[in-house]
Amino acid sequence: MVIRNLDAVVSQPFDFIVVGGGAGGSVIANRLTENPDVSVLLVEAGGSNEGVLNVAAPGLVNFLVNSAWDWNFTSTPQSALNNRTLTVSRGFILGGTTSTNQMVYTRGSSEDYDLWANITDDAGWSWDSLQKYIRKNERFTPPADHHNTTGQFDPNVHSFDGIVSVSLQGFPNEIDNRTIQTTSELNKEFPFNLDMNSGYQLGIGWVQATIGDGTRSSSAASYLGPSFISRPNLHVLLNTRVLRVLENEHQQSDFRTVEFTQDGGVTTHTITASKEVIISAGTIMTPHILMHSGIGDSEELHSLGIQTIHNLPSVGKNLTEQPIVRNKWLVNSTHTLETIARNDTLLAEVTREWQHSRMGPLVDPPLSFIGWLRLPANSSIFQQVPDPAAGPNTSHYELIITNGALAQPAPATGNFLTFSTSVSSPTSRGSITLNSSNPLEYPLIDFNLFSTTFDRFVVREAFRNTKKFLAAHSWDGYILSPPTNATTNEELDEYINQNAATENHPVGTAAMSSKSAAYGVVDPDLRVKGLSGLRIVDASVFPRLPAAHTQVPVYIVAERAADLIKDAWGISKEDTA
Ligand SMILES: Cc1cc2nc3c(=O)[nH]c(=O)nc-3n(C[C@H](O)[C@H](O)[C@H](O)COP(=O)(O)OP(=O)(O)OC[C@H]3O[C@@H](n4cnc5c(N)ncnc54)[C@H](O)[C@@H]3O)c2cc1C
């Protein structure tokens, strides 16, 4: 239940306190409260997702970045990108970034998870071991328009009775046939993949999205949906910002108390869990909370006047992000996103259609197809650096095909095809550091994008390949002009430097490592190394970024984490609620 009265919280004992109600936190809150004897307090900085139209209607997603439901972070100047700062979007609402994201459902390649198992020395993180958690999470559903989906996905690799709804596109686009035809015409370079979520990701396939009945299925709408959030043992405190976790006065290295504020720090309160605190505040804010709590690199903390309670130098390091260039091709069509986006009357019309029947163009996010591709094995870059992908079946780069410009507001004139290119196995690493000792101030977010020759090489080659894709006959008469006439490395670099952004998939700032490793922030069971009472369950624990959009990997991690926590405390795994 949503708590309105703070006194009711402060005077109540809770077994677990979960910090952050996004992808990771919602799963933990749901799974632990399956047992009615277990009490959980979920603390979320943002407000409720209930009744927020732009969140619920998939086609209105472009209105969410830089909105009141966004933390609105900004990166530090990126030296490889003409010192530009970049928008860093994160959901500030129940459901976290699953309430504001583009809803793409991708798991990554099987090799990504097998690599995690290797790094952590825990076979439980391997692709095969995680299958039951993938299935607990997913509920594959028919698309909004109920068209025949034969040949658009492989039902054998999906689950139909999990929690988060997943579906294929529910409103056809003009580019659909052209894209599919290109996968036949240029089959060798751009093969069709029936289902990129089978463990074998390479090729081009239809987007699957976390949508059911034409409506966003965020972690708030699914794991905290009406039948779950009403559980008497689940307490949800909204508009409440956690500042720090505090060490037990009577037991060294034991952290089960959270300090929070509801009024911008004017007053602060504390509450203690009898069993554990689980931090699920995401890749940016989880290390921020840890560092303000005195858990981090002692030298860095000392320089800001924060007393180190536990020296853990890896906190905030290893920040990994997929850089993306959203290449906009001018097209000979009026059937693209822009036509609706810049016409208020039309937008109101399709919004009414969505509200009345859950049909029409707003049932889908803007993206239609995704491709996961590799550089050729004889690529010159491999004479300089080893292949960083998790294995030979894992992509180096991603192509995202969108029927329109992804920008909000839409460009004033012209109709576009956006063919985004991103580095799916990047080798650049950045960091989250503190700006000051004030926990209400935002941290410094330095992605350090394109700090390696590999990332730069890949994004150039990816762009060159989009040109090959769009030169296929299937696009004859459709493409009017390219986003740039750049062809040489130097020209392309200038274009990239002006246009690259983040794909909004940051991970790795509180990474897992094996129990014996001297680096890392959490053990393979997601407990903070060297401490008791404190676990982390969100994208920050990824030791490596899977070649995927990141919400599904977080769901998978959180589903397993819930079982790890239940095992640790002898909590029954049967759903007794
Ligand atoms: C614009 C955009 C588009 C994206 N598109 C996709 C996509 O199509 N497919 C995909 O797979 N992934 C996508 N992602 C990424 C994906 O949504 C995230 O990887 C995923 O949600 C991360 O889960 P998390 O649990 O780590 O963090 P989040 O889901 O961000 O949850 C963290 C929660 O903690 C709360 N919080 C933070 N600090 C505090 C604090 N101090 N006190 C209390 N609460 C706090 C936040 O408000 C938030 O609710 C996108 C992201 C963005 C920004």
Please list the residues that pair with 73 across neighbouring strands.
Answer: 88
| Cβ 281 under 6 angstroms from ligand 1 | yes
536/529 Cα distance (integer angstroms): 11
- What is the model's pLDDT at position 310? 98
Residue showing tokens 């936190």: 25
Pocket test for ligand 1, best of 9, 27, 74, 101 (most atoms within 8 A of CB): 101
457/35 Cα distance (integer angstroms): 51
pLDDT tens readout for residues 258-299: 999 999 999 999 999 999 999 999 999 999 999 999 999 999
Q: What is the whole-number distance in angstroms between the Cα of residue 281 and the centre of ligand 1? A: 8
φ, ψ of residue 292 to 5 degrees: the values are: -65, -20
pLDDT tens readout for residues 179-196: 999 999 999 999 999 999
Residue 10 has pLDDT above 90, yes or no: no
- What is the model's pLDDT at position 52? 97
- What is the model's pLDDT at position 4? 78
CB 510 within 8 A of CB 286: yes
33/35 Cα distance (integer angstroms): 5
For the CA of 21, the nearest atom of ligand 1: 49
Nearest CA to ligand 1 atom 23: 23
Over residues 24-49, the mean pLDDT reads 98
Residue 167's nearest CA partner among 98, 224, 213 is 213
pLDDT tens readout for residues 421-465: 999 999 999 999 999 999 999 999 999 999 999 999 999 999 999
Confidence (pTM): 0.98
Residue 433's nearest CA partner among 332, 540, 284 is 284
For the CA of 243, the nearest atom of ligand 1: 41
543/520 Cα distance (integer angstroms): 8
Residue 132: strand, helix, or coil: helix
Pocket test for ligand 1, best of 48, 63, 97 (most atoms within 8 A of CB): 97
- What is the model's pLDDT at position 411? 87
- What is the model's pLDDT at position 575? 63
Residue 6 has pLDDT above 90, yes or no: no
Residues in the chain: 577
57/406 Cα distance (integer angstroms): 16
CB 371 within 8 A of CB 207: no
Residue 230 has pLDDT above 60, yes or no: yes
Residue 563 has pLDDT above 90, yes or no: yes
CA atoms within 13 A on the CB side of 167: 23
- What is the model's pLDDT at position 576? 59
Nearest CA to ligand 1 atom 16: 551
CB 456 within 8 A of CB 448: no
CB 116 within 8 A of CB 543: yes
- What is the model's pLDDT at position 439? 98
| Cβ 461 under 6 angstroms from ligand 1 | no
Q: What is the whole-number distance in angstroms between the Cα of residue 250 and the centre of ligand 1? A: 35
CB 395 within 8 A of CB 404: no
- CA dihedral angle for residue 278, residue 284, residue 285, residue 286, rounded to 10 degrees: 30
Residue showing tokens 């019309």: 349
End-to-end, the C-alpha distance of the chain in Å comes to 14
Q: What is the whole-number distance in angstroms between the Cα of residue 90 and the centre of ligand 1? A: 5
Residue 489: strand, helix, or coil: helix
SS3 sequence of 200-265: CCCEEEECEECEECCEECCHHHHCCCHHHHCCCCEEEECCCEEEEEEECCCCCCEEEEEEEECCCC
179/172 Cα distance (integer angstroms): 12
CB 406 within 8 A of CB 366: yes
- What is the model's pLDDT at position 410? 83
Residue 169: strand, helix, or coil: coil
Residues 6+ apart with CB under 8 A from 436: 304
| Cβ 289 under 6 angstroms from ligand 1 | yes
| Cβ 426 under 6 angstroms from ligand 1 | no
In the structure encoding, which two tokens stand for residue 377, read together? 């094995």
Over residues 102-126, the mean pLDDT reads 98
Residue 557's nearest CA partner among 27, 89, 11 is 27
Nearest CA to ligand 1 atom 21: 97
pLDDT tens readout for residues 326-338: 999 999 999 999 9
CB 404 within 8 A of CB 418: yes
Q: How many CB atoms lie within 10 A of CB 59?
A: 23
96/24 Cα distance (integer angstroms): 9
259/507 Cα distance (integer angstroms): 25
| Cβ 96 under 6 angstroms from ligand 1 | yes
pLDDT confidence band for 63 (50 / 70 / 90): very high
Nearest CA to ligand 1 atom 3: 101
Residue 372's nearest CA partner among 502, 207, 203 is 203
pLDDT tens readout for residues 479-506: 999 999 999 999 999 999 999 999 999 9
Over residues 97-109, the mean pLDDT reads 98
| Cβ 531 under 6 angstroms from ligand 1 | no
| Cβ 284 under 6 angstroms from ligand 1 | no
492/124 Cα distance (integer angstroms): 43
CB 509 within 8 A of CB 520: no
In the structure encoding, which two tokens stand for residue 49, read together? 């997702």
